[in-house]
A and B are shown apart, each in its own frame.
Chain A
Amino acid sequence: MLNFILRRLAIAIPTILVIILFSFLLMHSAPGGPFTAERKLPPEVLANIEKKYGLDKPLYQQIGVYVKNVVTDFDFGPSFKYKNLTVNEIIASGFPVTIVYGLWAFLFATLIGVSLGVFAALKHNTWLDYLATSTAIIGSVLPNFVMAPLLVLLFTVYLNWLPGGGWQGGQWQFIIMPVIALATSYLASIARITRSSMLEVLNSNFIRTAKSKGLPTQYIILHHALKPAMLPVLTSLGLSFVGMVTGSVIIDQYFSTGGIGQHFVNAALNRDYSVIMGVTILVGTLTIVFNLLVEILYAWIDPRIRY
């Protein structure tokens, strides 16, 4: 197991380097640059600015300087758009916010989704099953950019129960709506996968054996059915988590949380090269780490899986 983890981590480094290379080339191939503006800069001023940010060097040199700074100083460079901020500061201010509501959304989606799915599978083909399934589907049909304004209309404008946005350091009133808006679409897919996976497990031979042994249903579910049923769910959970972090663009825009999500889109539109690179590396690293975690969990759940 340890060997497996070490091998994975070793591969992670060249993976990240390839990500850096491709992102660099891709973003420089887009027309326009960070200083393309309606109010054109006089050529001398533009030349000065480009020199200041190292954009006058050839591409291979720029990548070289960038990688060196990241590896030796953990310095992701200055933002090209936000003149008084560095990428490190931008990530430090946004990432904790996204992680907080991302984790809560993940917990919420997982707990409710799995429970709904198990419940639906147990009460298979009864009205309770249909209720649980349709609730889940409604959640998946409503994308978060529809959920968000609906939630605000309900809880802020009409009921005046919750603030319409902001973060204020992460007090609970500001976390609720972003979590619900983000979690609902994932909740649905988790519920559906849990339900079908659970159904399959409940119909398998070893469960039939357990039932014929006279074991109580609750015991069977908790001790025999849940773990194997979780395997397919785990795959989707791993993807869901990264998705929740990256898909937080809408949440950040709507709820003004100051999270990192909106930077994914804004940085590209701004041609803010260093921020683009910074968040790409961040997401790439997260994906690698979570895929690894999921694979480790697989091994724990299913003793037959050995690396």
Chain B
Amino acid sequence: MKTMLTTFLVLILSSLLSLTPGYASNSHPLTGEKLAENQVFYYRIGAESPSIDPQLVEDVEGSAISRDLFEGLLTQNADGTLAPGVAERWEGNAKKDSYTFYLRKNARWSNGDPVTSHDFVYAWRRAVDPVVSSPYASFMELTSIKNVSDILKGKKPTSELGIEAVDDYTLKVSLSGSLSYFPSMMVHTTTFPTHQKTIEKHGNSWTKPGNMVSNGAYKLTEHVLNERLVRERNPMYWNNDKTIIDKTVGLIITDENQAYNRYQASELYKTEVPTGQFKRLKKLLPVETHSNPRLCSYYYIFNMEDETLKNLNLRKALTLAINRNIVTDKIMGAGQIPAYSFTPGSTANFIVPDTEYGKMTQKERNKLAMSLLAKEGYSRSNPLEITLLYNTSEGHKKVAIAVRQMWKQVGIKATLENQEWKTFLSTRDAGNFQIARSGWCGDYNEASTFLDLLRSDSDQNDSNYNNPVVDDLIVSARTMDDPNPNYKKVEELIAKDFPISPIYHYTGVLMLKPYVKGWPHQNVEANWYSKDLYITAH
């Protein structure tokens, strides 16, 4: 009798417990894996962010934090495909120059206020407000939203921005031209909503824990400069029931080897693979060491206004003579991909074109390089003298030294020069270089985020490349339903004109404890969300 009663009570209690949203000692609702008691995720932050204000955030770490604290119109699935965020559904008109977003009615700020379309209007106007001076204001220009350029130039007030709150839950965006991939840009932090009353009340201090009001799956509970940043479950989040991780603790550790030490001691569950350690760690801890394709390119820029580099044959020779496989396998050694195109192959819908030099063997490339150099009067006994500039870093130095050796084989004598980061940027910007190292990560998952850099009037066009056909193809691609044929043509022209020498496409390398699940390894933008992770019992 007694045992029956006890059993009965236990059954009632456990079924009651399983109804509560706490996931401790439960199983994952979809996969059935046993979950850990403590759903706290510890990870390494490489450096303190300049700001986590969505309209001001500019760095990778800060963006990850912003994505946990705030949510935009749309969000991403683990593989990077678009998913509803604050907007339940959206539609574009036939011309794709106007989009309407229908917001869900149960989205809330952490203080209980409903999230409305007015919050987005406020935020987007903030992003282009000259007073706020967002470093990512140019991103809003990329969205083609109406009047953005005039507003940034100070010619029009922010109220003229092409965004309108039709009603509390309907948002209408008007573009100055068609843009088929506009929705994919809505996952970017600059477009996240912000809480007007909070910002007006606290001013610059609104991002402090206790002051901040946010609409994401988490709220900011602790932030000690250069030490740690902690975010905890936001019960007001509309999808809070699906969130498993209760708390995410970011520990700011600048030194990657130190971070790895603490990872070994299990103080962190995620960190970067220290430079040069990938092969060793892949052997030692194969399940924990990851290399995922990234939407980033590593390349050398040729200054086409330089006397020597005006010459196409020389630019081509310099590009051909680099043995990219050696760079990716022997020097980088973390699964990087040799690049013969500017845009990485992992970019959505992008098809890597077959380039003439991409198909050759290195022997053939070197032979062609030498014959091109010979045409211009250079050879091993009379080498072409050139300088290569890179920003101070052990990794870039190794690549540069290797490339210098490769160039030596064909009759090019390179002098290496390195400068501290900001000095390097100034030098490159001023055009005081012949060849300069460069790297670029896409702002959104579409080829134009790379190719746009080579438009003749782009601020980022450090090579001073000026090909009107390329400009035309890039501009007209914006309004095409399927812009990929244009992108293919642009890449083919790049592979003919050689304004740059692509070297490799990045991989994101990370160490991740085997009991952390749900990591978006396929997301090439490396956008991760704490709400999609969970920790299994270990």
**Which positions in A face B, CB cutoff 8 Å?**
30-33, 35-42, 44-45, 48-49, 52, 78, 81-86, 89-90, 93-94, 148-149, 152-153, 156-157, 160, 163-167, 252-254, 256-259, 262, 269-271
- Interchain residue pairs with CB less than 8 A apart (26): A35-B135, A38-B425, A39-B58, A42-B137, A42-B138, A44-B152, A45-B135, A48-B131, A48-B133, A82-B225, A83-B51, A83-B204, A86-B204, A89-B225, A90-B225, A148-B258, A149-B261, A156-B261, A156-B265, A156-B267, A165-B253, A167-B224, A253-B258, A258-B224, A258-B252, A271-B422
Given A36-B426, A45-B133, answer yes or no on A82-B48 (Cβ-Cβ < 8 Å). yes
Shortest C-beta distance, A259 to chain B (Å), equals: 8
Kindly list chain B residues whose C-beta atoms are within 8 Å of the C-beta of A254: 255, 258
Q: Is A82 a contact of B262 with CB atoms below 8 Å?
A: no
Query: How many pairs of residues, A versus B, come closer than 8 Å at their CB atoms?
Result: 147
Q: Is B258 a contact of A85 with CB atoms below 8 Å?
A: no
Given A39-B138, A157-B265, A269-B421, answer yes or no on A164-B258 (Cβ-Cβ < 8 Å). yes
Task: Write the chain A residue with the least CB distance to B225.
Answer: A93
Q: Is B257 a contact of A149 with CB atoms below 8 Å?
A: yes
Kindly list chain A residues whose C-beta atoms are within 8 Å of the C-beta of B423: 30-32
Q: Is A84 a contact of B460 with CB atoms below 8 Å?
A: no
* Complex CA distance for A67 and B52, rounded to whole angstroms: 30
Q: Is A82 a contact of B265 with CB atoms below 8 Å?
A: no
Kindly list chain A residues whose C-beta atoms are within 8 Å of the C-beta of B258: 148-149, 152, 164-165, 253-254
Kindly list chain B residues whose C-beta atoms are within 8 Å of the C-beta of A156: 261-262, 265, 267
Q: Is B51 a contact of A164 with CB atoms below 8 Å?
A: no
Given contacts A32-B426, A36-B426, A253-B254, 15 further A-B contacts (CB under 8 A): A38-B440, A45-B134, A45-B135, A48-B133, A81-B50, A83-B53, A83-B204, A84-B206, A164-B262, A164-B267, A165-B251, A167-B227, A254-B258, A256-B228, A258-B252
Kindly list chain A residues whose C-beta atoms are within 8 Å of the C-beta of B204: 78, 83-86
* Complex CA distance for A271 and B424, rounded to whole angstroms: 13
Answer yes or no: B459 CB below 8 A from chain A CBs: yes
Q: From A30, A45, A253, A256, give the contact of B152 (CB < 8 A).
A: A45
Closest 5 CB pairs of A and B: A32-B422, A258-B227, A164-B262, A83-B51, A49-B133
Q: Is A262 a contact of B137 with CB atoms below 8 Å?
A: no
Q: Is B422 a contact of A31 with CB atoms below 8 Å?
A: yes
Secondary structure of the A contact surface, majority rule: loop
Shortest C-beta distance, A38 to chain B (Å), equals: 7
One digit per residue, 1 when the CB lies within 8 angstroms of any chain A CB and 0 when it does not, for chain B 119-163 equals 000000000001101111110010000000000111000000000
Shortest C-beta distance, A123 to chain B (Å), equals: 39
Kindly list chain B residues whose C-beta atoms are within 8 Å of the C-beta of A30: 422-423
* Complex CA distance for A52 and B208, rounded to whole angstroms: 22
Kindly list chain B residues whose C-beta atoms are within 8 Å of the C-beta of A90: 225
Shortest C-beta distance, A150 to chain B (Å), equals: 10
Given A45-B130, A83-B50, answer yes or no on A152-B262 (Cβ-Cβ < 8 Å). yes
Residues 396-430 (chain B) with a chain A CB within 8 angstroms: 420-423, 425-427, 429
Kindly list chain B residues whose C-beta atoms are within 8 Å of the C-beta of A152: 258, 261-262
Task: Write the chain B residue with the least CB distance to A46.
Answer: B133
Answer yes or no: B503 CB below 8 A from chain A CBs: no
Kindly list chain B residues whose C-beta atoms are within 8 Å of the C-beta of A148: 258
Kindly list chain B residues whose C-beta atoms are within 8 Å of the C-beta of A89: 225
Q: Which of B133, B138, B205, B253 has the most CB of A within 10 A?
A: B133
